[in-house]
Amino acid sequence: MASAQVDEREVEFSAIRAQGAGGQNVNKVSSAVHLRFDIPASSLPEGVKERLLALRDSRITQEGVLVLKAQQHRSQEMNRTDALARLQELVDSVAVAPRVRRATKPTYGSKQRRLEGKSQRSAIKLQRGPLRD
């Protein structure tokens, strides 16, 4: 199955000033990028949308808009590319549905090993008690 591709036309970018060190350049140039991606309104498959919205991620708002901030690089274009790559990485992480776990019974051998371990532990603990005649 091919991974769900993010359509760049559904992504909204806005340039902002970066934080942190960088000298005078930080104060003059809006090189950081805010990426906004409306998950419910996107063209992603329904299953991928549901799994994205189910993520407990502080970057996803109540309305289902994912907001990423990229300010790693000095150029706005590189930050834009970085933000898009991070968005695609997040979508790829939920693209494949998790396998459903089917409940199974423990095997006879595993039950025996468990009980054997419990009785060995019990014997060790019995030796810690007061001496008996």
Reported as a pLDDT band with limits 50, 70 and 90, residue 31 is: confident
Q: Which CATH architecture has domain 8-93?
A: 2-Layer Sandwich (3.30)
Residue pair 67/83 in contact (Cβ under 8 Å)? The answer is no
DSSP 10: G
pLDDT of 1: 47
Per-residue pLDDT of 108-122, as tens digits, reads 999 999 999 999 999
Which CA distances in Å does 109 have to 102, 105, 106, 116, 124? 20, 12, 8, 10, 23
Reported as a pLDDT band with limits 50, 70 and 90, residue 2 is: low
Residue for token digits 């993010």? 6
Per-residue pLDDT of 63-99, as tens digits, reads 989 999 998 888 889 999 999 999 999 999 998 888 9
Report residue 70 as tokens.
């990229």
What are the boundaries of each domain within the chain?
8-93
What pTM does this model have?
Answer: 0.69
| pLDDT of residue 124 exceeding 90 | yes
Cα–Cα distance measured from residue 92 to residue 94, given in angstroms and rounded to the nearest whole number:
5
